[in-house]
Each structure stands twice: as C-alpha cells, then as structure tokens.
C-alpha cells in the first residue's frame, strides 16, 4: 500500500503558503508632496551653488525627493545632490539624509533615494540642492503654487516666499503584497472544493 500526492494537494499547499504571505505587507514609494509648475527658470548653479526648498510632509517618513532641472546650455550633464535638513542649512539645520543622481541631463528630473528617515508630519523640513555642473538650472514658479513652503538661494541666505521650485517628495507606504484570500481562491479553480476531498488509498 502506498499514497500518491494528487495535483490538487500540491495546489492546496501552494495556496496555504500564499495565504500566509497575504498577511505580510510590503512597502512601496509614493509621492507625498508635489509642486509641478515649472514655468520659470529660477536659478542656475553658477549664481547660487546651493538652493533650498522647504516643505511639510504628510507621512511620518521620507525616502527621497526629485527636482526639475532646466536648460541653460543644451546637453549639459551633471550630478545632482539633494540633502534633507531639519532646519534651514544657513541657520544651523542638521542634515538628516542625502543622495546623488548621477549624469542628469539638463531638462530632466533629478531623483535621489535614501534609507527611510522618520520625521514629524506637518513639520517644516528643507531640501538643499547642488550640482556638479554649474550651467544647469532649477525650474519652478513665482505664483506661490506651493503653500506649504518656499525657496531660498545661496544656501538659504535669501528667501522668496512667493517662489517654489518644481519638486516632489517620496514616502514609504505599506501596500498589499499579494491578492486577498478571496481573490486567491479565484486564481486557483476548485480550491474551495479541495478542502472537502479526502485522500484515498490506492492499492499497490
């Protein structure tokens, strides 16, 4: 006498494993703050080597940011560094994180990521941007499109309340890793009936 493993048994075992995974959430990047008006060439890195944008995050963490670069001279490439501060850099703010986007072509978005940093929601933080290529620019708007912050030039020495760079911040948000159990059952036809079946002995 011996027992053989039916195909539906293997399917049931797989389903149990997947159902266990459904309880474990994964993480994904999501845009938290966003200011997309890039109608003005605001500053180049020859004039101001470090430029700052303040913001208030809705999430309790931040994992990166991006800024819209502009074209002063076509085809310029540079490494864009974005640093996160808990206060204005020129007034003694502490650096919390940083990242560099390599080989950014003028006119592209420069995006950097860093390890998740826990922050206080609705508190003002600062992003400082610098570039290895001085002939690149940062774009934005002078119509105060972002009410939760403003820009500074010269490392924060000069502030302009009605101006904002075109930028976005990224947060780490939990999302479902696999389908819910009901959806999973639909993926495996007959799974609901499997639990009602009994393993039968086969004669040798």
pLDDT 10s digits, 104-144: 999 999 999 999 999 999 999 999 999 999 989 999 999 99
Per-residue pLDDT band for 76 (boundaries 50, 70, 90) equals confident
What predicted TM-score, i.e. pTM, was given to this entire model?
A: 0.74
Structural domains in the chain plus CATH codes: 1-25+176-204 (no CATH), 26-175 (2.60.120)
The pLDDT value given to residue 150: 98
Separation of first and last alpha carbons in the chain: 5
> Given pLDDT bands bounded at 50, 70 and 90, which one contains residue 149?
very high
Q: Would you call 87 helix, strand, or coil by DSSP?
A: coil
State yes or no: pLDDT of 103 exceeds 90: yes
- The stretch 33-62 carries a mean pLDDT of 96
In which band, very low, low, confident or very high, does the pLDDT at 182 lie, cut at 50, 70 and 90? very low
User: 21 and 81 in contact (C-beta within 8 Å)?
Assistant: no
pLDDT at 91: 93
Token couple for 51? 């430029």
Distances (CA, A) of 149 to 7, 38, 92, 159, 200: 60, 16, 18, 11, 70
The pair of structure tokens assigned to 128 is 């400082």
Digit-coded pLDDT (tens) for 151-166: 999 988 999 999 999 9
For 111-180, what is the HEC assignment? EEEEEEEECCCCCEEEEEEEECCCCEEEEEECCCCCCCCCEEEHHHCEEECCCEECEEEEEEEEECCCCC
**Is residue 147 over pLDDT 80?**
yes
pLDDT, tens digit (0-9, with 9 covering 90-100), for 80-90 = 999 999 999 99
């Amino acid at each position: 006498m011996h027992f053989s493993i039916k195909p539906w048994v293997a399917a049931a075992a797989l389903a149990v494993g997947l159902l266990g995974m459904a309880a474990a959430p994964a993480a994904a990047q999501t845009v938290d703050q966003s200011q997309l008006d890039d109608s003005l060439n605001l500053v180049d890195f020859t004039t101001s080597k470090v430029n700052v944008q303040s913001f208030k995050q809705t999430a309790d963490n931040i994992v990166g940011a991006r800024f819209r670069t502009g074209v002063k001279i076509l085809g310029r490439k540079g490494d864009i560094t974005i640093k996160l501060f808990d206060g204005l850099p020129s007034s003694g703010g502490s650096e919390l994180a940083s990242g560099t986007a390599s080989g950014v072509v003028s006119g592209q978005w420069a995006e950097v990521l860093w390890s998740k940093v826990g922050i206080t929601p609705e508190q003002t933080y600062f992003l400082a941007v610098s570039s290895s290529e001085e002939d690149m620019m940062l774009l934005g708007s002078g119509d105060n499109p972002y009410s939760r912050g403003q820009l500074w030039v010269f490392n924060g020495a000069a502030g302009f309340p009605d101006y904002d760079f075109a930028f976005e911040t990224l947060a780490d948000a939990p999302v479902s890793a696999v389908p819910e159990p009901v959806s999973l059952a639909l993926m495996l036809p007959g799974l609901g009936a499997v639990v009602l079946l009994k393993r039968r002995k086969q004669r040798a």
